[in-house]
Amino acid sequence: MGRGVRALLYVGSSHWRERGAMPGRCQQSPVLAGSATLVALGALSLYFPEPAGYGKYTETLTPSAVRLPAGAAWFLQELPSFAVPAGILAWQPWSLFGLPGTVLLVLFCAHYFHRTFVYPLLNRGRPFPLAIIFKGFVFCMGNGVLQGYYLIYCAEYPDEWYTDIRFSLGVFLFILGMGINIHSDYILRQLRKPGETIYKIPQGGLFTYVSGANFFGEIVEWIGYALATWSLPALAFAFFSLCFLGMRAFHHHRFYLKMFEDYPKSRKVLIPFIF
């Protein structure tokens, strides 16, 4: 195993083991396999010529599929990403400023608490095909297990990790990205009145500069998470998010250009002023 992988799998000292914070022995093989799977899925998403068949692409790509309402679909799909890590956390000793792995997993749960219990209640999107929901459920289950297992049973951090620049900058980026993501979703919801199905050009916030402002925010979140955890599973998830959501942003940008003749020509796909 290369030194780079070992550095990501074994961060810091043996401080956690000495404090008895690892109730089970870390198995490296499933961590590596899960991380490699995320990277492979991210790379594969770059080669699909058509977007995933949900949202604005549902009718054109999966016209005859059995569907669930968008709110219920998002709840069922995202639930494992919250429930699995939250279940792992529930078995851990807890304090206000606990072990870094525990605190970092709380950040992961915070994102998916919003995606599971808040976002579905506000969502006005189109119904989801059952096949898409099932795929999302399986992915969220696997990723929830991987991130939770690694941070609780494998990750090791020194006492001074809370003051490390990687932790501080990573948490800042995570919170910033989550704020951008939630604000961008709010802008998208305001485009339609209840019952409307027409498409409008998003305006305001980062939509002034990019078509995929909500996707940009979530990508920034997971890059921050990868930096704060300094872990291979989080890095793999950030890579997957960049690939999958980046392609989603590209397809949205192409859709808007075809749909609206007056769509702002200076607006980029995902990264302001760059791409």
Which pLDDT band, with edges at 50, 70 and 90, does 67 fall under? confident
Output the pTM of the full model. Answer: 0.86
Are 118 and 73 in contact by the 8 Å Cβ rule? The answer is no
Q: For residue 210, what are the β-bridge partners?
A: 268
Q: What is the pLDDT of residue 5?
A: 43
Query: Mean pLDDT, to the nearest integer, of 200-227?
Result: 96
In the predicted structure, residue 10 carries a pLDDT above the cut 90 = no
CA distance 144 to 139: 8
Residue 59: predicted pLDDT: 62
Output 193-201 pairs: Cβ under 8 A, ≥24 positions apart: 194/124, 199/56, 199/259, 201/256, 201/260, 201/262, 201/263, 201/264
Instruction: Answer yes or no: is pLDDT of 215 > 80.
Output: yes
156-166 residue pLDDT tens:
999 899 999 99
pLDDT of residue 126: 79
The secondary structure element, H or E, covering residue 249 is helix 232-259
Q: Please report the pLDDT score of residue 53 as a whole number.
A: 62
